[in-house]
Amino acid sequence: MAHLPLLLGSAALALAAVCVLLALLGGSAAPAAGVSHIESFYAHPEAGAAAPEPAVKELSSLLELCRKLAMRISPKKGLVKIQHNLDLAGNPAGWRAERVLAYKVVASLGTAGFAFLIGLPHGAAVLLFVLGGAGIGYLLPNMLLYNYAVKRQEQLQKQLPDAMDMMTVCVEAGLGFDAALTQVARNTTGPLASDFARVLQEMQFGLSRSAALKALASRTTVAELRTMVSALVQAAELGIPVAAVLREQASEMRMRRRQRAEEKAQKVTVKILFPLIFCLLPALFIVVMGPGVIGLMASFSGV
């Protein structure tokens, strides 16, 4: 009973931290007006952005305090790395680099309070639980953001061959490269349409086509997309027809997609080996050899 007030206080602290984290994650900051207009015109949005709630405005001072604390304890390159991961993730609404830093602090406090409750019966080891929980909570937003970025890049890789085929058909039909890019952004969905819409938006804001394409390559880890951008930039510099470049790139991407499918098919036999050995074969041995073993045991017991 002596630890009851401390236990209740820790529970309240953990609950408050978790509630603050959920409230912060629930809000979403609207993107810039130009980006929002261009992407809504050229592409279907990947996910609808919710309107900011009044509770988020009330927590803005707490969010700023958490951000300043995270800036003090984070390495200098941490903010740059978070921004790069946000670019890979498509800059989802409400996930700016400063807010991610604030989420790291709030998540660290919440998991530290939860770990304190778990480690309280263990006496002196409670400090290790608190430090471990705080570390896990501090890294949790980074892991979530990295996982989202990886999944988005996989979607880009899957959608790229079909988008290249559509661009090739449009250019060979007489459209310019910008118009073909517009058709892909209008008539497809997903992250690739949003990235192409951003390229068009940047060109409308005054960037050259080569600069906008290079910026697209810097926001992705897909090797095929980087190769396509490099080929298009070189074609523009050397005066090579864009249709020929797109046709060659589309053919190569279809071949790579087929090779990836064959590679995954060949890995199936290796992946299924361990479930087969540890799950299916023991049950099969029991069914096949069980009656014989029971008969032998009965025979020997009779002797």
pLDDT above 50: residue 52: no
- For helices 177-187 and 126-172, the axis angle rounded to 10 degrees is 120
Are residues 9 and 41 both part of a single domain?
yes
Q: Are 104 and 138 in contact (CB under 8 A)?
A: yes
Average pLDDT over residues 17-38: 44
Contact call for residues 112 and 127 (beta carbons, < 8 A): no
Quick one: 19 and 121 in the same domain?
yes
**Mean pLDDT over residues 25-41, rounded?**
43
* Residue 293 counted as domain residue: no
Answer left, alpha or beta for residue 30, where phi above 0 means left and psi between -120 and 50 means alpha.
beta
Q: How many independent structural domains does the chain possess?
A: 2
Q: Given this model, what pLDDT does residue 14 score?
A: 53
Same domain for 121 and 216: no
Residue 167 buriedness (CB in 10 A; 0-12 / 13-18 / 19+): buried
| 258 shares a domain with 150 | no
Out of 154, 185, 206, pick the residue that ends a domain: 154
Asked whether residue 78 falls in the same domain as residue 101, the answer is: yes
Among 120-124, 140-144, 187-191, name the one with the lowest average pLDDT.
120-124
Higher pLDDT, 58 or 37: 37
132, 154, 176 - which closes a domain: 154
For residue 48, name the pLDDT band (cuts at 50, 70, 90). very low
Same domain, yes or no, for 165 and 214?
yes
Separation of alpha carbons 50 and 52, rounded Å: 6
Residue 187 one-letter amino acid? N
Tally of CB atoms within 10 A around 138: 21
pLDDT band per the 50, 70, 90 thresholds, residue 47: very low
Looking at 58-62, 90-94, 100-104, which range is the least confident one? Answer: 58-62
The pLDDT, as a whole number, for residue 10 is 53
CB 70 within 8 A of CB 64: no
| Residue 128 placed within a domain | yes
Whether residues 142 and 259 share a domain: the answer is no
Find the DSSP H helices in the chain. 4-26, 33-42, 54-58, 60-73, 78-88, 97-119, 126-172, 177-187, 191-204, 209-218, 223-238, 242-271, 273-275, 281-302
Q: What is the CA radius of gyration of the chain?
A: 28
> Which pLDDT value is given to residue 33?
39
**Is 162 found in the same domain as 32?**
no
Average pLDDT over residues 218-227: 90
pLDDT at 110 over 80: yes
Q: Which residue has the higher pLDDT, 205 or 55?
A: 205
In sequence order, the 6+-apart residues with CB closer than 8 A to the CB of 57 are none
Looking at the structure, tell me whether residues 80 and 204 fall in a common domain: no
Kindly state whether residue 131 falls inside one of the protein's structural domains: yes
Residues 146 and 42 in one domain: yes
Q: 283 in a domain, yes or no?
A: no
Contact 78, 98 (CB under 8 A): no
Residues 60 and 84 in one domain: yes
Average pLDDT, the chain: 77
Position 22 scores a pLDDT of: 46
Does the residue 285 lie in any domain?
A: no
Residues spanned by the domain of 173: 158-270
Task: Among 137, 154, 171, identify where a domain stops.
Answer: 154
105, 150: one domain: yes
Angle (CA) 288 292 298, round 5°? 150
What would the mean pLDDT of 97-102 be, rounded to a whole number? 80
Dist CA 82 CA 142 (whole Å) = 8
Percent of the chain at pLDDT > 90 equals 15
The answer to whether residue 10 sits within a structural domain is yes
Mean pLDDT of 79-87: 85
